[in-house]
Structure 1
Amino acid sequence: MRGRLIAVVGPSGVGKDTVMAALAAARPDLHLVRRVITRAQDAGGECFDAVHPTDFAQRRDAGGFSLSWGAHGLFYGIPASVDEVLAGGQDALVNLSRGVLDQARALFQPFVVLSLVADPHVLAQRLAARGRETADEIEHRLARKPDMPVTGADVISLHNDGALDRTVHDALAALYPARV
Structure 2
Amino acid sequence: MTGAFVAVVGPSGSGKDSIIEHTRAVLEGRGAIVFPRRQITRPSGAGEDHIPVSESEFDTADRLGEFALTWRAHDLAYGIPANVFDVVEAGGVVVANVSRGVLAQLPNLFANVRVVRVTVSEEVRLERIVARGREDAIAAASRVARLDPAPDYPADLEIVNDGTIEDASAQLAAFLTSMRDAARAAL
1:148 positional shift: 5.0
Q: After TM superposition, list the pairs within 5 Å mapping 1:1-180 onto structure 2.
A: 2-28=2-28, 29=31, 30-42=33-45, 44-145=46-147, 149-152=151-154, 155-176=156-177
Relative contact order, CA 8 A, sep 6+: which one is greater?
2
SS in 2 for 1:70: strand
Distance 1:144 1:110, change over 3 A: closer
Q: Which one-letter code corresponds to 1:155 in the other structure?
A: D
Separation in 2, partners of 1:38, 1:144: 21
Which segment drifts farther, 33-42 or 114-123? 33-42
Specify the SS of the correspondent of 2:18.
helix
Point out where structure 1 has 5 or more consecutive residues left out of the alignment: none
Aligned equivalents of 1:148, 1:61: Cα separation in 2:
27
The DSSP-based 3-state class of the residue aligned with 1:121 is: helix
CA distance in 1, matches of 2:37, 2:152: 23
Q: Percent identity?
A: 36
Equivalent pair of 2:100/2:149 in contact (CA under 8 Å): no
The normalised TM-score by structure 1 is: 0.87
- Greater displacement, 49-58 / 109-118: 49-58
Q: Judge conservation of contact 1:98–1:150 (CA < 8 Å) in 2.
A: no
Aligned CA distance change for structure 1 residues 162 and 128 (closer, same or farther; 3 Å): same
For residues 7 and 150 of structure 1, the distance between their equivalents in structure 2, rounded to whole angstroms, comes to: 15
Q: Is the partner of 1:41 in helix, strand or coil?
A: coil
- Partner of 2:117, secondary structure, is strand
Q: Secondary structure at the match of 1:6?
A: strand
Matched residues in 2 for 1:147 and 1:100: separation? Answer: 9
The alignment yields a C-alpha RMSD, in angstroms, of: 2.2
Matched length = 177
User: Is this contact kept in 1: 2:11–2:148, CA < 8 A?
Assistant: no
